[in-house]
Amino acid sequence: MDLCDLTVLQAKERLENKEITAYDLVVSCLSRIGLVEDKINAFITLRKKEALEEAKEIDFRRKGGEELGPLAGIPYAAKDIFCTKDIETTAASKILKGFIPPYDSTVVKRLKEAGAILLGKTNCDAFAHGSSGENSDYGITRNPYNLDYVPGGSSSGSGAAVASGECLFATGTDTGSSIRLPASFCNLVGLKPTYGLVSRYGIISMASSLDSPGILTQDIKDQEYILGIIAGPDSSDANTALAQDKLGTVSKAHLKIGLPKEYFTEGIDPEVKEIIERAAGFFKSFGHEIKEISLPHTEYGIAAYYIICHSEVSSNLSRNDGIRFPLSDRAGNDTLSIYLDTRENGFGAEAKRRIMLGTYALSSGYYEAYYEKAAKVRRKVAEDFGNVFKEVDILLAPNSPTPPFKIGEKINDPLQMYLSDVLTVPANLAGIPGLSLPGGFTGDGLPVGLQLIGPRFSEKLLFEIGYQYEKEHEWIKKRPDLLHL
């Protein structure tokens, strides 16, 4: 087994036992990048020289008996919407080309302090607008399990990079699906944390009331371990004020697991349905109770989400004005034309679509009918969850009604693309956690993930139940066949 295919905890153990060096690890990852990167296009920026130097330094300090951070020597990648000090951060958009942040996002800062080695910045849908990875201004990222298929988005590069062994874990964000979908499509573990558990500081904002930063890993134990390092209160993100000590609590032998009946209606692929039903059967055999429940406002969730999301996007993207960031069209005579031209030339089609819809929904005369109405429906969606969590402990569902789809299949129909998020956006609307973990493969060899959803700050419970499932199945061992890409 190549070193780059080790899990974080496996690599950590070998590093601490001095069986391998951080340098070996980075070399292995870079070698894997050399093998597959021109086919999958997971990275926008690589820092090979710096990563090797940092690895050498960590090895030297470890040799000297120095006390090192919990992730010392572990190579990782950061989605290119995480600000990284002195390293170009583009949000996969043309409009931020050349942007060199003068500071690190909190997540990156915490990983740096833990000793993790940043290999590079991963590709994604521009400004995280998308569910497939096809909206990047830096090329499409392909699914390592089958290059004709999408890896899921918007954290497409992070999913593809971890799945193909280019790095041992990667950061992502989930605003409507963007960690869970790549996890599901690339056979990985990806948690959308409780909103407010992980600091959003330094992450290029998409929708501020929905954005949830997290990570993609090969397995549950890695996910739990790294989450413990990045989660917790941050004075720079006031929404994390309640995030202290939220990962060590609940434990229950036998759970009531709800299956939301609205998530299994028409439109769900039969292979996906079978995988979830088989998982339900497994949990039942493990002593948990399976119960059908109802989330009556599910069909309205996606509509509410897209109004709220696009509205907040339109507000957040107003800072891309040709004044503060490098790209600037100054051919015109006045400042107004700087705005008009820079934004026309710098934004991609999807960013424009979202800004336009959001501007409309927030404009005078329309605010109550759209944004406020959507926010009221949001409360109904959140209440649905509040109600079912009185009857059951967690929910089991798919992440997507379909398995990974082909590149090009949905990109020309924005509404079709939006509908792929119907099973993931409710958790974002309610601010609750959703965990995607490997659940099996279709007949065509494409990964399908399970989704476990719980109340706010129930991450520990989701990890426990997820681990019960993971331990008894071999899915995480089924890595993509990279020699025949």
Partner 1 sequence: MEEQEVSRIAGLARIKLSLPEIKKLAQELSSILDFVKKLNEVDTSNVEPLFNTTSLVDVVREDVELKDQSLGSKKALQNAPEKDNQYFKVKPVL
Name the residue among 231, 171, 189, 145 with its Cα closest to residue 7: 189
Which C-beta is closer to partner 1: that of 268 or that of 340?
340
Which C-beta is closer to partner 1: that of 59 or that of 384?
384
Which C-beta is closer to partner 1: that of 184 or that of 342?
342
In the list 282, 339, 441, 467, the residue contacting partner 1 (rule: CB under 8 A) is 339
Sheet harboring 75-79: ordered strands across?
Answer: 43-46, 117-122, 75-79, 169-174, 212-217, 189-192, 434-441, 447-453, 394-398, 256-260, 289-293
Q: What is the DSSP letter of 210?
A: T
Name the residue among 49, 63, 36, 57 with its Cα closest to residue 167: 36
Name the token pair of 404.
């990974």
Name the token pair of 390.
């009185």
Binding window for partner 1 (CB under 8 A); candidates: 48-56, 164-172, 281-289, 424-432: 424-432
Is 475 within 8 Å of 439 (Cβ atoms)?
Answer: yes
CA angle 239, 197, 251 (to 5 degrees): 140
In the list 359, 468, 478, 485, the residue contacting partner 1 (rule: CB under 8 A) is 359
Confirm or reject binding of residue 367 to partner 1 (CB under 8 A). no
Residue positions annotated with a catalytic role = 79, 154, 178
Which C-beta is closer to partner 1: that of 126 or that of 338?
338
Confirm or reject binding of residue 408 to partner 1 (CB under 8 A). no
Is 25 within 8 Å of 56 (Cβ atoms)?
Answer: no
Q: Helix or strand or coil: residue 89?
A: coil
In the list 64, 65, 102, 270, the residue contacting partner 1 (rule: CB under 8 A) is 102
Nearest distance from C-beta of residue 235 to partner 1, angstroms: 6
In the list 67, 266, 334, 474, the residue contacting partner 1 (rule: CB under 8 A) is 334
Which C-beta is closer to partner 1: that of 147 or that of 340?
340
Residues 370-399 contacting partner 1, CB under 8 A: 370, 372-380, 382
Which C-beta is closer to partner 1: that of 251 or that of 333?
333
Distance in angstroms (rounded) separating the CA atoms of residues 205 and 312: 9
In the list 138, 145, 169, 195, the residue contacting partner 1 (rule: CB under 8 A) is 195
Nearest distance from C-beta of residue 422 to partner 1, angstroms: 12
Q: What is the DSSP letter of 194?
A: P
Residues 215-274 contacting partner 1, CB under 8 A: 235, 238-239, 241-242
Confirm or reject binding of residue 477 to partner 1 (CB under 8 A). no
Distance in angstroms (rounded) separating the CA atoms of residues 82 and 107: 8
Beta bridge partners of 78: 121
**Backbone phi, then psi, for 395, in 5-degree steps?**
-120, 150
Name the residue among 214, 176, 221, 216 with its Cα closest to residue 198: 214
Confirm or reject binding of residue 327 to partner 1 (CB under 8 A). yes
Confirm or reject binding of residue 352 to partner 1 (CB under 8 A). yes
In the list 149, 225, 263, 306, the residue contacting partner 1 (rule: CB under 8 A) is 306
Nearest distance from C-beta of residue 95 to partner 1, angstroms: 11
In the list 278, 284, 319, 330, the residue contacting partner 1 (rule: CB under 8 A) is 330
Which amino acid is it at 137? D
Confirm or reject binding of residue 191 to partner 1 (CB under 8 A). no
